[in-house]
Amino acid sequence: MLPLSGVRILDLTTVLAGPFCSYQLGLLGADVIKVERPGRGETLRYRSNGNPKMGADGMSLAFVTQSSNKRCITLNLDTVSGQRAFLKLASSCDVVVENLRSGALERRGIGYETVKALRPDVIWCAISAYGRTGPKCDHPGYDSVVQAWTGMMEQNGPPGSDPLRIGAPVVDYATGVSGAFAVAAALLQRHKTGGGQYIDLSMVDASLMLMASVATETVNAGVAPPRAGNRANSGNPCSTTYHTADGLLSVAVNEQHQLRNLLGLLGLEGLLNDPRFITPTLQSSNGVVLRSHVQEVLLKRSAHQWEHALNAAGVPAARVRTLVEALQEREEQGRSIFHRFCGGEESPQTGLQVPLAAFRFAENGPCIRTGPRSAGSDTADVFRELGFSSAEIAQLELEGTN
């Protein structure tokens, strides 16, 4: 019995943030029904990332990443019968997750208020770039645009450079995780009160939450911290990235005892008696000189050697790895977050690996029960469960091909 077994979720989302939200819920046992436009389904299925062979079958890696444990149906929401079918489906679900443009469902007469009238305890999670209120509620947005709008991009990069987008779509995935957390909380709230909930989830707000300490400093001081490159937000002068004999090493020294351990390991403990470095304030004022002493010693050994020595001394440090290296090491440590599909040669996903969740349960935790499905493959089964006749299902499918 998984935590969300028995919970039915209607997924009206596309691209990354919304589908990742419903994917996280599906990993915990929810019955997720994904609604796509008739024909080819959502465009993410065919995202090639420059490779003409990738996604040609409607199973791009971007789509497969977050589409397991979902039943896929197609439904034409622009037809009267499609709208009626949607309302019957939505009223059978505990949760609706959608990231359509503001007003798109309301214009068709199938928005939140209509569904709520049919099912008062429905939980509705509306995901958008800027939120469903305010002057930008109608504006579209993607991860990179939100990073620019929220100041996240401006915070990233070395001093004096142009701002840099964080490489991975972190805002999308932070939004998805926030959505899953909000839905789980609303389900618990409903269990206590019997009432439903409307969740207004904004990518902008998720982005700002990712910068919580920096945002707090900025909103109270009125000025954003300067761009610091690889320097830590703590401001400690020795928390940064250093060159070693064979690569880069990230060192985090945010407490005085860590600084003592660092300098002791490097044979530089005498610097703590130097008048330039005897207090944290003086250490910061003379940070360039202090770092130069540390850098000089770190060049004498490899990043791998320093990583082990520093961590053993209680100083957080890591060799700067490639993503390939990091994934391989987690696999070797038995801590992989990935699920490998083993459906047999007839399954298009066989051998592929996709991430699960960032946590584990001792029992009945996040898991994949079924792999990604082709667009519309579950339409007949889902509507048969709702009591539709074969003729009605055939009519819906006929409308879906137009």
Greatest Cα pair distance, the chain, in angstroms, is 88
Nearest to 55 by CA among 372, 340, 397: 372
Residue 84 CB partners (closer than 8 Å, separation 6+): none
* Helical (H) or strand (E) element with 243: strand 240-243
E strand map for 37-189: 70-74, 95-98, 123-128
Q: Output the six-digit token pair for 246.
A: 């064979």
Pairwise CA distance, residues 260 & 220, whole Å: 32
Pairwise CA distance, residues 225 & 119, whole Å: 47
Inter-residue contact 230 to 241 (CB < 8 Å): yes
b/e 84-98 (16+ beta carbons within 10 angstroms → b):
ebbbebbbbbbbbbb
Residue at token pair 């969300």:
4
Q: How many CB atoms lie within 10 A of CB 374?
A: 15
b/e 196-228 (16+ beta carbons within 10 angstroms → b):
bbebebbbbbbbbebbeebbeebeeeeeeeebb
Distance set, CA 335 to CA 96, 133, 355 (Å): 33, 41, 12
Q: Output the six-digit token pair for 373.
A: 């499905």
**319 pairs with which residues across the strands?**
249
Residue at token pair 């070797």:
332
Q: How many CB atoms lie within 10 A of CB 262?
A: 24
* Helical (H) or strand (E) element with 23: helix 17-27
Residues designated as active site: 172
SS (H, E, C) 174-204: HHHHHHHHHHHHHHHHHHHHCCCEEEEEEHH
- Assign 335 to helix, strand or coil: coil
